Amino acid sequence: MKASALLLAAVLANPSGAAAQDKRFDGANGWLNSPRPGAAELRGKVVLVDFWTYTCVNWLRTLPYVRAWSEKYKDHGLVVMGAHTPEFEFEKDVDNVRRAVKDMRVTWTVAIDNEYAVWRAFGNNAWPAVYLLDAQGRIRYSHHGEGAYERTEQMIQQLLAEAGAAGVPQGGVTVKGDGLEAPADWESLKSPETYLGGASPRKPVRGPVNRLSLNQWTLSGDWTSRRDAIALTKPDGRIAFRFHARDVNLVMGPATRGTAVRFRVLIDGKLAGAAHGTDVDDQGNGKVTEQRVFQLIRQPGPIIERTLEIEFLDGGVEAFAFTFG
């Protein structure tokens, strides 16, 4: 839905403006960082609502901008509110979200939206998504996905000026994302997000690793398939994926809280070396101790079609989805 249509819907559904704005968060399951802001706290403020889920690499790449906007405009009337709406079942675990909020330096108020109530109230359909509400509580702008950072910041400035804020800083923020927050290398990205569970249309193929075609993947070892994940029940299981991208990430976690699963990453049958990601050492070793997204590969270049193998030395891991950047 375009921003103009969202604005009309917001005005019709929320004619009383800022006081009614708060009702869109009525279905939240809880709040992190601070209690739920009341209508009085939001009255006259411009509100940026950020829909996210903590394993979404697309959202992670927008996070440096949201941080920078929050810091730059907080004294001029901008309030940032996050709505954490989970994609995977484990993302409903508030302890997992609380840890992510701390580790990812999310300092603003976060609504726990496990039942998608806030998501539906905004008519949202994607991660990440940003909505800007003016001082009357009306949706004046929205953007789904990465990008449009300059346009979004211009709208923040415009709405703050309309609200009567003095001395609103002009120009755009300059950010530098590191690790998973670094912008994707879009020119070399030829591999799509791939879900591994039984509900995914992209099934593993049979045959040797050296015969995989681009974006095919295969398994070896004692794996079981669920709707949203594959689970390794015994040690020495492998996943191989033929990819074309700078980065390879994998959403995964231990099947039992408090356990650790060792793994090793190879690229084209060799140690990852300089191509290792932030969650892998230069010998290709890593450890799964929590449910999150792990960066396995970051190629220094040239970016070419290659084969990733991740070997799990212990059983008890669950793997959900590959993402690329």
- Cα-atom radius of gyration of the chain, to the nearest Å? 21
What strand order describes the sheet that includes 109-112? 30-32, 109-112, 78-84, 46-52, 129-133, 139-144
**Averaged pLDDT, groups of 10, the chain, 325 residues long:** 38 39 87 92 94 98 98 97 98 98 98 98 97 95 98 98 95 95 97 96 94 98 96 97 98 96 97 94 96 97 95 98 98
pLDDT of residue 40: 83
For residue 288 the two structure tokens come to 């799964």
Q: How far apart are CA 116 and CA 131, in angstroms?
A: 16
Name the CATH architecture for the domain at 3-181.
Answer: 3-Layer(aba) Sandwich (3.40)
- What is the reported pLDDT for 150? 98
Give 60's contacts (C-beta < 8 A, 6+ positions apart).
104, 180, 181, 293
In eight-state DSSP terms, residue 38 is P
Fold for the domain defined by 186-324: Jelly Rolls (2.60.120)
Q: What is the DSSP string of 122-136?
A: TT--SSSEEEEE-TT
Q: Cβ neighbours of residue 204 under 8 Å, at least 6 residues apart?
A: 217, 218, 219
- The structural domains of the chain, with segments of one domain joined by +, span 3-181, 186-324
Q: Which two three-digit tokens encode residue 124?
A: 């949202």
User: What DSSP character marks residue 100?
Assistant: H
